[in-house]
Amino acid sequence: MLALPPIEGKGMASSAAPHVLVVACKTATDPALLAAVTERADRGPCAFTLLVPAPTSTLERLTDPDDADRGAAQEILDAALPRIREAAGGAPVDGIVGDPTPLNAIADAVNVVGFDEIIISTLPHAVSRWLHLDLPHKAAGLGLPVTTVSAAA
- φ/ψ region of 21 (left if φ > 0, alpha if ψ in -120 to 50, else beta) reads beta
Q: Which domains does the chain have, with CATH numbers?
A: 26-150 (3.40.50.620)
The predicted-structure confidence for 120-144, as pLDDT tens digits, reads as follows 999 999 999 999 999 999 999 999 9
> How far is it, in rounded angstroms, from Cα 26 to Cα 150?
11
- Of 80, 82, 6, 85, the C-alpha closest to 38 is 85
Residue 79 pLDDT more than 80? yes
Model confidence, pTM: 0.84
> How far is it, in rounded angstroms, from Cα 48 to Cα 126?
28
Q: Are 46 and 19 in contact (CB under 8 A)?
A: yes
Q: How many CA atoms lie within 13 A of 135 on its CB side?
A: 26
Residues 59-83 have a mean pLDDT of 75
> Which pLDDT does position 3 carry in this prediction?
47
Residues 63-71 have a mean pLDDT of 62
How many Å from the N-terminal Cα to the C-terminal Cα in the chain?
33
Distances from the Cα of 110 to the Cα of 10, 65, 75, 82, 137, angstroms: 11, 21, 23, 23, 15
Choose the weakest-confidence range: 31-40, 62-71, 141-150. Answer: 62-71
Residues 67-88 have a mean pLDDT of 89
Give me Rg for the CA atoms of the chain. Answer: 14
> Which pLDDT does position 66 carry in this prediction?
56
